[in-house]
Structure 1
Amino acid sequence: MAVRSTYRIQHQEIVVSEIAKSPNEERRRLEQAIAQSKLEIEALRAKVHGQADAGKAAILAAHLELLEDPELVETAVSAIDKGKSAASAWQQTYTSQAQQLSRLQNELLAARANDLRDMGGRVLRILTGATLEAKTYPDNTILIAEDLTPSDTATMDRSKVLGFCTVGGGATSHVSILARSMDIPAIAGTEPRVLDLPDGTPVILDGSKGTLRLNPSPEEMEKVRRLQARLKQKRQIDLAAANDPAITTDGYRLEIVANIGSKADAEKSVDLGGEGVGLLRSEFIFMERDSAPSEAEQTEIYSSIAKVLGPDRSLIIRTLDVGGDKPLPYLPIPHEENPFLGERGVRIGFDRPEILRTQLRAILQASQSGKVSVMFPMIARLEEFRMAKAMLEEERQKLGIAPIPVGIMVEIPAAAVMAHQFAAEADFFSIGTNDLTQYTLAMDRGHPKLAPYVDGLNPAVLSLIGMAAKAANDHGKWCGICGGIGSDPQAVPLLMGLGIKELSVSVPTIPSIKAQVRELSFAECQKLAEKALTLNTAAEVRALCPLPEE
């Protein structure tokens, strides 16, 4: 939460000349500009590496890969050969590709389009000789922008900027990822009318609720400042006790683990008291590449994470989960009318078995370095789970490696409804509440009009969570949560009351979630969960469970 005044950021316009010299000279100019851009990005990467910020460094690495995209360069060179200047050819090429990506209307590709504009603009600035305007902000600024590039965010002066609000982007955009890694309040995808706010407008930005309150009264401002001071003090107390277990006042133990995408995330989770990794999103290892990672590469990555966690902390690796809103350039999927109901998750693995088998071998080999489990995504039918387990067993026997625990993501309503059948054959469940919610409510969580109603605390979703947890417990297995509501303080008592044994949460929230659990009574959480299931709406459920600071 941030309380300060707004400042609008506008990007520099670059004038491009159409006058071209010889094609050879224009090609050389383009090569030199790309080389200079690489040096600038490398310098930025070195800076953020020095700040131990893996999130920023990874996104800047993606910019370097875009600069090395042969198709992008070849298209620009082709335009140069037809008589265009290097600047004009480059501008036409990268803006055209960015527009094509953004028109595909999914958040991941929109993020890549924004990266492409950012990287392309850097090269264009060098080609045209435009001077990069250093951005300076007043003290206590909340930035308002149509969109922010990753470069804007990576170089943001945190001593001046307390938060930001953008019209473009969404929860999965690179800018939003950077905001979370910087622990800065942010709202993406807000109403365009915020761009009309004059500089200096007093606002209260609440990133957790996604609200921007305009022109609050002095009394409201002071109230929020006091709340900020209390929250800051509480964070320090929570951090000091981060390594203590999450045990309720009446003795119920809840395991608090982390959702991660890299070794750096794992290291940070251990520092913050994480008891393991409940979800390694292995797709991040496959993204921003021209080809799938090799077995050796995957084995090294998984093993290095297992070693960071040590022999006592669990590492659950979800197999490649792409398709739908997460495509890969080297895994083309034919056009689907309903991609969220098409080839995604484990279905891709069955269609491209060589990729799944390679990953399974890498996971099995990494299991020799730690406490590793495997989890299959998007399981809807028992036949699918049996097929996936059979592939794993075939590769295990070839390698001569001991068996490892095998679980499923419960993110399709069918899996929750048939949880008793699945629990008889799975070692554990982990509920992906983001997809479970959108499939249960038949609402796309990225839809601009429907997204506010896609709430995992809807009683229908909670009922399915309860069914899965009960089935697991009845079979002597455990059921965890790795979706977004695991990090939601309003959801924690309800999930525990429904019988959830593990919460896999975003890394920064580990200390606060553990602290919250220590203040709860399991018996009271059970009563709260029973009451929530009788309510009619997510809003009523949230009213039943006010935020701890309220």
Structure 2
Amino acid sequence: MDGDVGSVLVAPSQNALTEAASRAAEQQAERSRLLSLVGTQGRTRDGTRVELAVNIGSPADLDLALEYGAEAVGLYRTEFLYMAADRLPTEEEQYQAYRTVLEGMQGRPVVIRTLDIGGDKALPYLGLPHEENPFLGFRAIRLCLARPDIFRPQLRALLRASVHGQLKIMFPLIATLEEFRAARALLEEERAALTAQGVPVADTEVGLMVEIPAAAVLAPAFAREADFFSVGSNDLIGYAMAADRMNEQVAGLYQPLSPSVLTLIHLTCQGAQSQGRWVGVCGEMGGDPLAVPLLLGLGVTELSMSAPALLPRREQILNLDMERARSVAAEALTLSTAAEVEALVRRSFPELA
């Protein structure tokens, strides 16, 4: 089985086995070389700090994240706690899971996303109504605001866990300022209730995922009230291009390097910078070698990705010149197609060829 190209060879010949063994040995040698970078801080060649974070779905993912030198958790997908059971997890069960991750990261930042159910992630035991287009429907923060009986226990669990590390709370699929305000108001209500009960609670940054173009366009307004932005590039691209990447009929329209997508990220970074906020990327673009120089050039300062991508991207960033990245990103915004942007990046950074 060749995971690099997605193929399975049945009854391989001896030559094929020999070639596969040789490639596996080369990959292991490369992995050993990259592991020497563990402990090296994410920083460009000219000294610009870039936090390299990991996406996780459960506390069990921490071991691999730390093995590959994660400086933070940029996205903890809490919905997997809900999807792994046949009932809603209790407040205590959630608290223990969040505490484990915060303690495991030993003071490093942990961005925990509140429940993001709906779209391609269903919870049969909730009995939610069928929707013709669930990606544009009752999901994520929309569900949580409508179901405080589900949302409040999660918020309490998060706040209780906050004393065990550097917690940052993030709300998904925010489209309007009213949604963000409503979610934050519930959070503050639970904070006040816990404090009144004598339960210790730490200060936490509160931000939002920028997945909907409307949020990117209104980034300056959001930045006046949110502490940070994290670009959920998977959904942002899908909503911007009106294309489902899992649908082979339209997958060609799902273009991370489209100038339209880059413009939305640029607007997000501009809005954040106007209020001194930071911007991360926690979708697949964060680990894409072609996208990295563009994202950093646009103003992103945190990249979150799968654990195996951390070391290759760390090496790339250590050799990256930020002045060139900014210049290339600015030129990319003037282009008309994703193909033109890709050609520009490959031409400007020949080491990616």
**TM-score scaled to structure 2, two decimals?**
0.91
Task: State which of 149, 157, 164 in structure 2 corresponds to 1:362.
Answer: 157
Distance 1:528 1:355, change over 3 A: same
2:75 match: 279
Q: Which residue type is aligned with residue 501 of structure 1? A: T
* Cα deviation 1:487-514 (Å, max 9, x = unaligned): 1111111100000010011111111111
What are the equivalent positions in structure 2 for 1:156-167 lying under 5 Å apart?
163=2
Q: Which residue type is aligned with residue 263 of structure 1? A: P
* Cα deviation 1:167-205 (Å, max 9, x = unaligned): xxxxxxxxxxxxxxxxx43538xxxxx9xx98559999x
What are the equivalent positions in structure 2 for 1:262-301 lying under 5 Å apart?
262-301=58-97
* Cα deviation 1:86-144 (Å, max 9, x = unaligned): xxxxxxxxxxxxxxxxxxxxxxxxxxxxxxxxxxxxxxxxxxxxxxxxxxxxxxxx3xx
Task: State which of 338, 342, 351 in structure 1 corresponds to 2:137.
Answer: 342
Task: State which of 469, 483, 487 in structure 1 corresponds to 2:287.
Answer: 487
1:507 match: 307
Is the CA contact 1:490–1:545 (under 8 Å) kept in the aligned structure 2?
yes
What are the equivalent positions in structure 2 for 1:26-41 lying under 5 Å apart?
none
> Shift of the alpha carbon at 1:538?
1.7
2:4 match: 185
**SS across alignment from 2:76:** strand
> Shift of the alpha carbon at 1:227?
8.7
Distance 1:200 1:231, change over 3 A: closer
2:198 match: none
> Shift of the alpha carbon at 1:432?
0.2
Q: Equivalents in 2 of 1:322, 1:393: separation in Å?
A: 22
Task: State which of 296, 302, 318 in structure 1 corresponds to 2:113.
Answer: 318
Q: Equivalents in 2 of 1:230, 1:549: separation in Å?
A: 19
Distance 1:516 1:338, change over 3 A: same
Distance 1:365 1:433, change over 3 A: same
Q: Which runs of 4+ in 1 moved over 6 A?
A: 201-204, 224-230
Q: Equivalents in 1 of 2:214, 2:313: separation in Å?
A: 30
Q: Which residue type is aligned with residue 368 of structure 1? A: V
Is the CA contact 1:396–1:402 (under 8 Å) kept in the aligned structure 2?
no
> Shift of the alpha carbon at 1:388?
0.2
Is the CA contact 1:266–1:277 (under 8 Å) kept in the aligned structure 2?
no
1:399 match: 194
**SS across alignment from 1:343:** coil
What are the equivalent positions in structure 2 for 1:450-465 lying under 5 Å apart?
450-465=250-265
What are the equivalent positions in structure 2 for 1:36-185 lying under 5 Å apart?
142=1, 163=2, 184-185=3-4
**SS across alignment from 1:247:** coil
What are the equivalent positions in structure 2 for 1:182-221 lying under 5 Å apart?
184-185=3-4, 187=6, 200=12
1:428 partnered with 2:228: yes
Task: State which of 203, 207, 213 in structure 2 corresponds to 1:413.
Answer: 213
Q: Equivalents in 1 of 2:27, 2:215: separation in Å?
A: 39
> Shift of the alpha carbon at 1:226?
9.4
Distance 1:300 1:198, change over 3 A: closer
Q: Equivalents in 2 of 1:457, 1:524: separation in Å?
A: 17
Is the CA contact 1:278–1:504 (under 8 Å) kept in the aligned structure 2?
yes
**SS across alignment from 2:80:** helix
> Shift of the alpha carbon at 1:333?
2.0
> Shift of the alpha carbon at 1:322?
0.7
Distance 1:240 1:198, change over 3 A: closer
1:238 partnered with 2:34: yes
> Shift of the alpha carbon at 1:442?
0.7
Q: Equivalents in 2 of 1:548, 1:344: separation in Å?
A: 41
Is the CA contact 2:290–2:352 (under 8 Å) kept in the aligned structure 1?
no
Q: Equivalents in 1 of 2:135, 2:14: separation in Å?
A: 41
Distance 1:516 1:232, change over 3 A: farther
Is the CA contact 1:357–1:395 (under 8 Å) kept in the aligned structure 2?
yes
1:389 partnered with 2:208: no
Distance 1:402 1:526, change over 3 A: same
Is the CA contact 2:289–2:352 (under 8 Å) kept in the aligned structure 1?
no
**SS across alignment from 2:124:** coil
Q: Equivalents in 2 of 1:443, 1:463: separation in Å?
A: 18
Gaps of 5+ in 2: 196-200
What are the equivalent positions in structure 2 for 1:463-474 lying under 5 Å apart?
463-474=263-274
Is the CA contact 1:242–1:514 (under 8 Å) kept in the aligned structure 2?
no
Task: State which of 249, 258, 272 in structure 2 corresponds to 1:449.
Answer: 249
**SS across alignment from 2:269:** helix
**TM-score scaled to structure 1, two decimals?**
0.59
* Cα deviation 1:243-283 (Å, max 9, x = unaligned): 10111111111000100011121222122111010100000
Q: Equivalents in 2 of 1:479, 1:260: separation in Å?
A: 19
- Aligned residue pairs total 344
Distance 1:239 1:433, change over 3 A: same
Whichever of the two has the greater Rg, that structure is 1
**SS across alignment from 2:110:** strand
> Shift of the alpha carbon at 1:225?
10
Is the CA contact 1:239–1:511 (under 8 Å) kept in the aligned structure 2?
yes
1:305 partnered with 2:101: yes
Distance 1:549 1:418, change over 3 A: closer
**SS across alignment from 1:517:** helix
Is the CA contact 2:207–2:229 (under 8 Å) kept in the aligned structure 1?
yes
Task: State which of 43, 46, 55 in structure 2 corresponds to 1:250.
Answer: 46
Is the CA contact 1:323–1:333 (under 8 Å) kept in the aligned structure 2?
no
Distance 1:405 1:227, change over 3 A: same
Gaps of 5+ in 1: 1-141, 143-162, 164-183, 189-193, 205-220
Distance 1:202 1:449, change over 3 A: farther
Q: Equivalents in 1 of 2:244, 2:118: separation in Å?
A: 15
> Shift of the alpha carbon at 1:531?
1.6
Distance 1:450 1:251, change over 3 A: same
Q: Equivalents in 2 of 1:293, 1:261: separation in Å?
A: 15
**SS across alignment from 1:545:** helix
Give the root-mean-square deviation of aligned CA atoms: 2.4
2:336 match: 536
Distance 1:549 1:533, change over 3 A: closer
**SS across alignment from 1:436:** helix
